[in-house]
């Protein structure tokens, strides 16, 4: 079975299952995926948090510029992370039917992401690249 639905949640190994989040009965869609690059070294050292608003067509260029300004060293890993963010943004905007994206890239060292929460945001994509949230 590629996807399993448990108590209004979808847990899957394929990206297509993320689209189930728009179903009324679905509260969480979790994609367990393997990355083709190692992002952890990018998160080491001093890098600033990135917050930006963009569109799926511009997010790669916007993230690339923001990462350079935030102190992420130029590397193949940074390019791979930029591509991954652009890919996720494109998929999310397609599922959500939105044209504008608010993006945050940060090293989280507190429990600010400890629990999922509900607020005025109808649909949110959260991904982790390194650390406890990826385990």
The per-residue pLDDT for range 78-105, each reduced to its tens digit, is: 999 999 999 999 999 999 999 999 999 8
Highest mean pLDDT among 28-37, 60-69, 71-80: 60-69
Helix (H, G, I), strand (E, B) or coil at 17: helix
Contact 37, 81 (CB under 8 A): yes
Model-wide pTM > 0.85:
no
Q: Please, what is the Cα angle at 128 between 66 and 59, to 5 degrees?
A: 30
Q: Which two tokens stand for residue 74?
A: 């130029």
Could you tell me the pLDDT band of residue 117, with boundaries at 50, 70 and 90? low
């Amino acid at each position: 079975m590629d996807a399993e639905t448990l108590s209004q949640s979808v847990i899957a190994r394929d990206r297509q299952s993320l689209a189930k989040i728009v179903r009324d009965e679905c509260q969480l869609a979790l994609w367990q995926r393997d990355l083709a690059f190692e992002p952890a070294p990018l998160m080491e050292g001093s890098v600033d948090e990135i917050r930006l608003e963009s569109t799926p067509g511009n997010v790669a260029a916007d993230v690339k510029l923001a990462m350079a300004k935030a102190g992420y060293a130029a590397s193949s890993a940074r390019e791979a992370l930029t591509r991954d963010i652009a890919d996720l943004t494109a998929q999310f905007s397609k599922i959500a039917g939105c044209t504008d994206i608010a993006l945050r890239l940060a090293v989280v060292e507190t429990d600010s992401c400890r629990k999922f929460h509900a607020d005025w945001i109808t649909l949110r994509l959260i991904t982790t690249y390194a650390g406890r949230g990826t385990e």
